[in-house]
Structures are given as C-alpha cells and as structure tokens.
Amino acid sequence: MQLLIKAKKVIQRLTFYVCAVSMFMLVPMMFLTTIDVIGRAFFARPVPGAVELSEYMLAVVILLGLAYTQQVKGHPRVNLIVSRLPLRLQSVVEIIINLLGMFIVFIVIWQGWVFAMGRMSTIVSDVLRIPQLPFRILVSVGAVLLFLELLVDLSAAVGKLFSRSHRDETDKKTATRVR
C-alpha cells in the first residue's frame, strides 16, 4: 500500500512538471502570434513560419497538458445518472470507465508510436523545415502520462470500492432507504 502511495505521488509530480514545461510554451506562442498579427496588419510583413511554430507549440501544450487535466479532474463529466446510483455501484462504474479509458489511451500510445516511427518519420515542415518526428513522439508521451493518471484513478476507485468506510456509508444509505 505504501508503494502505491509513493507511485501515485511520483506520477502526479511528473505530470505536474511536464504540464508546467508545456505551459511555458504559451508565452512565446502569444508573443509570436502578436508580433505576426502586428507585422501583417501594419507593415504587410508577417513573420515567416509563425503559423508552423504556433501549431507546433500548441501541439506541445495540448499533448503534455492532457494528463494534468485528468489529474485535476478538468475533463468534462456528466454525472446525471451515475450520481443517483449507490456508492458501491458508482465505484464499479468508475472502474469500468477508467478501464475503457486506459484501453483507448493504450491504442493511442501504440498507434502514435507506430505513426511516429513509420516511413514518414523524416517529414519536415514546409517553411522552416522543422522535423515532425519529435512532435509525433509527443503523442505517445502525452498518452503514456494520461495512461498513468488513469491508472492512479483506477487504483483509487478500486480502493474506494473495497474500503471499510465506503461500505459503511453504503450500508447507512441502504438502511435509511429501508426505513
């Protein structure tokens, strides 16, 4: 159990730091876009390759921010039906959802890696000739981090399902309904 808690802390800290690195891409992207718009509007001279750079920076921000968004529960959830279920059944549904999410993310990891290492791994951007390979690899890296966060959520849901206090709450709810 102690090992599980340490692993959870390591995964969450790694996810946080990777997201912090990706957030630093927002500032140069903002300045680049601002300079490009000003150059285009007032001087009729856009920054060459600004769109490419912005696309690459945006890819970094999004792909490396997915796992942290999962960690802070920032993804949209609809609990209309699940919130009305008994607590034990809510935990079972959460376990199933996490397993399905992990399965889908595993496919993204696998296919992202296959695509990155495929025959088109030497492609470069049109204007600045930036290799696409590092950004294609980021798909798998971001998905691995998301997979680990889903694994943390899965272990929490399993722990919640088998915890004593959770069973006591469920028994109290059931007893209250019976009366």
pLDDT tens digits, 53-95: 999 999 999 999 999 999 999 988 888 888 899 999 999 999 9
The candidate with the shortest Cα–Cα distance to 166, out of 153, 176, 156, 154, is 156
Query: pLDDT value at position 171?
Result: 54
- The whole-model pTM stands at 0.85
Confidence of residue 175 (pLDDT cuts 50, 70, 90): low
Arithmetic mean of pLDDT over the chain: 89
The whole domain housing 121 covers 2-178
Query: pLDDT value at position 4?
Result: 84
d(CA 61, CA 59): 5
Q: Please check the confidence at residue 52 and state whether its pLDDT lies above 70.
A: yes
From residue 80, give the alpha-carbon distance in Å to each of 38, 84, 89, 90, 112: 47, 7, 14, 12, 34
The candidate with the shortest Cα–Cα distance to 75, out of 66, 84, 83, is 66
Question: 3-7: long-range contacts at Cβ-Cβ below 8 A with a sequence spacing of 24 or more?
Answer: 4/155
Our count of domains for the chain comes to 1
Mean per-residue pLDDT, 6-19: 95
